[in-house]
Amino acid sequence: MAVHFEHLDIRCFRGLKEVEVSRLRDVNIIAGDNNSGKTSFMEALCLFRKPNDFYNVLKVARMRDASPFLSSAVYENFINLFPKNEMYIGMHAIGNMGESHLEIHGEEQKELLNIEMLSPYVRNKYSNHNKPDFAQETLMFHGEMHGWDKSGSFHDNIHLHPFVKAYEMSFRNKRLPDSINIVYLSPLAHMQGNTFNKIVKNPDYKYICLKLLQLFDSNITDLLYLKNENTSRAIEYLEHKELGVMPLSTYGDGIKKVLSLANGIASAAGGILLIDEIETSINYKYYSEIFSFIILASQQFDVQVFITTHNSEVIDGLLGTRVYDENNDYDPISVITFRKDPETSMVHTRSLSGKEVYEDRKRFGFEVRL
């Protein structure tokens, strides 16, 4: 069993208020329509990677931003973590790591920001432009972050302004260890490179992954890192019986996606893997083999998996990896449905075991997203 989180209580975070998710298991399918809070739930889990580290909060705030992490949008993205008109974030998790609790609260105030309050880098920038008397009225956030986890209680005062850069914050608490290893795969993670670095370090696992790739192309025989002659940078290649050694970039998104999923499981060993919109770039005809691989590999690496989807075929594909018509002692799958009330915008959840969903869909064509 790889159940690291058993229960999550989100009091306030983005658009989620008073949301409880229980009965979490080895593989958790988060089902729901678009804009029902599935990705917000995944981000909330990421906060428990280092609940006592404010820099981790900033990293979570930037997860949806496609611009470079060093851009000036740090403040705006942080403020967007709070529910509308409420400067409070609160959540509580229970699992095999004990209990973890996190709260962030404060307020925005208009203040006169002077040059002494800026970082040396920004201060020099304005001095070089002959603006030594820089002063500007701006919104600033003043608040606190506090809570507890297995390492004890923590408290941090937060003072943030729009001129802060992410790299300035990275030096705060940068040596704090992760409370739990949490890996997040966005829908387009397979397009961002570094797709099989963990796979090639484990020969037995690499062999299994190659067998999975051969569903797409039976002539693929190896995964290789080769140095580019011009840059000396290591590039990912696949060895092919007919085409020879070809860069991974020349292959389709399906192969890249499978490698990204397999690499994510190995990277999350002993922890948690979050897969957002798993159906992206995967043809439904491969669901059975890929989903069976995910469940078996996650058990091998002791990884608890959370998968978001709005596709009922994905749910059926994952449930199809189990033989529910037999009397099995343990069901590793949980299906959590997210539904947003269109009138109140409150998000309601329902947790069922995989077997319960399977039996209802078999008998009644049960719609898991409603």
| Per-residue confidence (pLDDT) for residue 291, from 0 to 100 | 96
Tell me, yes or no, whether 172 and 189 share the same domain: no
Tell me, yes or no, whether 107 and 189 share the same domain: no
| Per-residue confidence (pLDDT) for residue 365, from 0 to 100 | 61
Structure-token pair, residue 117: 């309050």
pLDDT tens digits, residue range 161-175? 887 665 555 555 555
Number of domains in the chain: 2
Residue 132 lies in a domain: yes
For residue 112, pLDDT beyond 70: yes
| Per-residue confidence (pLDDT) for residue 370, from 0 to 100 | 42
Residue 23 lies in a domain: no
Using an 8 Å Cβ cutoff, are 299 and 27 in contact?
A: no
Is the CA virtual torsion 23, 24, 26, 31 positive or negative? Answer: positive
Tell me, yes or no, whether 171 and 189 share the same domain: no
Residue 20 lies in a domain: no
Residue 238 lies in a domain: no
Structure-token pair, residue 98: 């004990």
Element (H, E) at 193: none
Tell me, yes or no, whether 358 and 258 share the same domain: yes
Tell me, yes or no, whether 113 and 189 share the same domain: no
| Per-residue confidence (pLDDT) for residue 9, from 0 to 100 | 97
In the listed set 148, 177, 206, which residue is the last one of a domain according to the structure?
177
Residue 21 lies in a domain: no
| Per-residue confidence (pLDDT) for residue 7, from 0 to 100 | 96
- Region 209-223: mean pLDDT is 94
pLDDT tens digits, residue range 320-359? 998 887 766 788 999 999 999 988 889 999 999 999 998 8
pLDDT tens digits, residue range 268-308? 999 999 999 999 999 999 999 999 999 999 999 999 999 99
Tell me, yes or no, whether 273 and 300 share the same domain: yes
Range of the domain at 74: 51-177
pLDDT tens digits, residue range 91-110? 999 998 889 999 999 999 98
Tell me, yes or no, whether 191 and 319 share the same domain: yes
Contacts of 153 (CB under 8 A, 6+ apart): 146, 147
Contacts of 158 (CB under 8 A, 6+ apart): 54, 104, 106, 141, 142, 143, 144, 145
| Per-residue confidence (pLDDT) for residue 169, from 0 to 100 | 58
For residue 319, pLDDT beyond 50: yes
Residue 59: CB atoms within 10 A of its CB come to 19
- The better pLDDT of the pair 261, 67 is held by 261
In the listed set 145, 177, 209, which residue is the last one of a domain according to the structure?
177
Tell me, yes or no, whether 190 and 336 share the same domain: yes
Global pTM value: 0.90
Residue 97 lies in a domain: yes
pLDDT tens digits, residue range 7-19? 999 999 999 999 9
Tell me, yes or no, whether 106 and 190 share the same domain: no
Residue 206 lies in a domain: no
CA gyration radius for the chain? 23
pLDDT tens digits, residue range 20-54? 999 999 999 999 988 899 999 999 999 999 888 89
For residue 362, pLDDT beyond 60: yes
| Per-residue confidence (pLDDT) for residue 276, from 0 to 100 | 96
- Region 178-198: mean pLDDT is 89
| Per-residue confidence (pLDDT) for residue 162, from 0 to 100 | 80
Residue 217 lies in a domain: no
Tell me, yes or no, whether 158 and 264 share the same domain: no
Contacts of 302 (CB under 8 A, 6+ apart): 2, 269, 270
Tell me, yes or no, whether 126 and 268 share the same domain: no
The dihedral region occupied by 35, where left means phi > 0, alpha psi between -120 and 50, and beta the remainder, is left
Tell me, yes or no, whether 190 and 310 share the same domain: yes
Residue with tokens 């059926």: 316
| Per-residue confidence (pLDDT) for residue 71, from 0 to 100 | 53
Q: Average pLDDT of the chain?
A: 86
